[in-house]
Structure 1
Amino acid sequence: MGITEDLADALARDAIAAAERLGDDTVISEVSDELGASSTTVQEAFLTAVRVRLAEQRARRHLDERLRRGPSA
């Protein structure tokens, strides 16, 4: 990845972790708004990274649950 994507991804990881720690998903929106005020390019990369990481988390939880249930009959 390029520097924009690398920085946005690192910030996305931190924002997701902060949102989980605080129990407040608006942290992600607040960070996005701050980025948008100075760089819409970085904001877009950040939001993409957030979406990808959250989708991956949901898919992993689904896979873990499916494995816990075991084989289908």
Structure 2
Amino acid sequence: MALIDDIAEALSAEAVKAIEATGDDRFHEKVAKVIGTSSTTLEEAFNTSMRLRLAERRARQFIEAELAKASTRE
């Protein structure tokens, strides 16, 4: 269902921005609870999108750290 994915993607993008602005690493869990009161289907899609975004963020941080280490060894 494309609409649900579009909504979940948009909400997760906004949640990531809120996490960065507030420093609250659990902000997305609060959003998921709010979503879940109305739509468990959207909640699941949102959680999936958040897991992907957070995993990507951690992976990019890891890559940047490793590249920084490599550049100091040269």
- Which TM class, normalised by the smaller chain length? 0.7 to 0.9
Q: 1:12/1:65 Cα in 2 relative to 1: closer, same or farther (>3 Å)?
A: same
Runs of 4+ in 1 over 3 A off after TM superposition: none
Which residue pairs with 1:30 in the alignment?
30
Measure the CA separation in 1 of the matches of 2:26 and 2:32.
10
Measure the CA separation in 2 of the matches of 1:29 and 1:54.
12
Gaps of 5+ in 1: none
Q: 1:62/1:36 Cα in 2 relative to 1: closer, same or farther (>3 Å)?
A: same
Gaps of 5+ in 2: none
1:16 CA displacement: 1.6
Aligned residues: 72
- Calculate the aligned-residue CA RMSD, in Å: 1.8
1:65 CA displacement: 1.2
Which residue pairs with 2:14 in the alignment?
14
Aligned-partner SS, 1:24: coil
TM-score, with length taken from structure 1: 0.86
Measure the CA separation in 1 of the matches of 2:45 and 2:29.
14
Q: 1:59/1:43 Cα in 2 relative to 1: closer, same or farther (>3 Å)?
A: same
1:57 CA displacement: 0.5
Q: Is 1:58 equivalent to 2:52 in the alignment? A: no
When structure 1 is superposed on structure 2, of 46-55 and 62-71 the one drifting more is 62-71
Measure the CA separation in 2 of the matches of 1:6 and 1:66.
33
